[in-house]
Amino acid sequence: MNSAAQCRPYFEQLANTIRRLPLERVDQIADILVSVYDRQRTVFIFGNGGSAALASHFACDLGKGTVNGSEKRFRVMALTDNVPLMTAWANDSHYEDIFSEQLANFAAPGDLAFAISASGNSPNVLKALKTAKQAGCITAGLAGFSGGRMCALCDACIVVPCDNMQIIEDLHLCLAHSLFTCVRARISNGASDPVAVGPRLVTRTAVR
């Protein structure tokens, strides 16, 4: 079997999973992100391993890539970026606390806690979502497999319907880029109207 044939099943599974993505959830979370931007609230992004790398990447895209000459900027923080602080909480308290304790310092009503977990069951991610909800934050995220326990803690969650960790991580990056692309376009259009998300009111920006 040649190398092209060996890799083909992976790309076939990737393509099949793309066709099954819940794209309506992308629009829903894009609406939430634009609302948070409009109200100048803060987005906190977090995850472990590859999801930690994506948290930093997504924060970079939102923080820099949405700047369009306006004085208004995305207020976004990746809770994965302060390594001394994360290791201090992990060492002196528990690894489960590395995100929740950061949120305890900063989270306020109307902010967005954005979780990334392929399994949807990472204990530190779940604890952070609970802390965010207690602080009155909107909660959203990216998951895989069947969504795990984080789905019940999220006002909106995109679940990649796959049990292959690498494909889930591939598509989490694609979803983050699609969210960024939608958000940037909606910010540029600049028109919004109300839409309800869970128990809170956010705004929906019209695409023109």
**Phi first, then psi: what are they for 192, rounded to 5°?**
-145, 155
Residue 193: count other Cβ atoms within 10 Å of its Cβ. 8
Q: DSSP per residue over 34-58, as a string?
A: HHHHHTT-EEEEEESTHHHHHHHHH
Q: What span, in angstroms and rounded, lies between the C-alpha atoms of 188 and 164?
A: 36
Q: What span, in angstroms and rounded, lies between the C-alpha atoms of 38 and 190?
A: 9
Q: Is residue 3 part of a domain?
A: no
CA 85 to chain centre: 21
| pLDDT at residue 71 in the model | 82
The one-character DSSP state at 81 is S
Helix or strand (DSSP H, E) at 173: helix 165-189
Q: How many domains does the chain have?
A: 1
Find, among 178, 172, 177, 121, the residue nearest to 146 by Cα.
121
R_g over Cα of the chain: 17
Range of the domain at 90: 20-205
Q: What span, in angstroms and rounded, lies between the C-alpha atoms of 151 and 140?
A: 8
Provide the residue-wise pLDDT of the chain in tens; the chain has 208 residues: 566 678 999 999 999 999 999 999 999 999 999 999 999 999 999 999 999 999 999 999 999 999 977 788 999 999 999 999 999 999 999 999 999 999 999 999 999 999 999 999 999 999 999 999 999 999 999 999 999 999 999 999 999 999 999 999 999 999 999 999 999 999 988 744 444 444 443 434 332 2
Terminal Cα distance for the chain, rounded: 49
Q: Is residue 10 part of a domain?
A: no
Q: Is residue 6 part of a domain?
A: no
Q: Is residue 157 part of a domain?
A: yes
Q: Is residue 27 part of a domain?
A: yes
Q: Is residue 13 part of a domain?
A: no
| pLDDT at residue 26 in the model | 97
CATH of the domain at 62: 3.40.50.10490
Q: Is residue 93 part of a domain?
A: yes
Q: What span, in angstroms and rounded, lies between the C-alpha atoms of 179 and 20?
A: 17
Q: Is residue 9 part of a domain?
A: no
CA 68, 71, 185 angle in degrees (round to 5)?
A: 30
Q: What span, in angstroms and rounded, lies between the C-alpha atoms of 33 and 22?
A: 17
| pLDDT at residue 198 in the model | 45
Q: What span, in angstroms and rounded, lies between the C-alpha atoms of 204 and 183?
A: 11
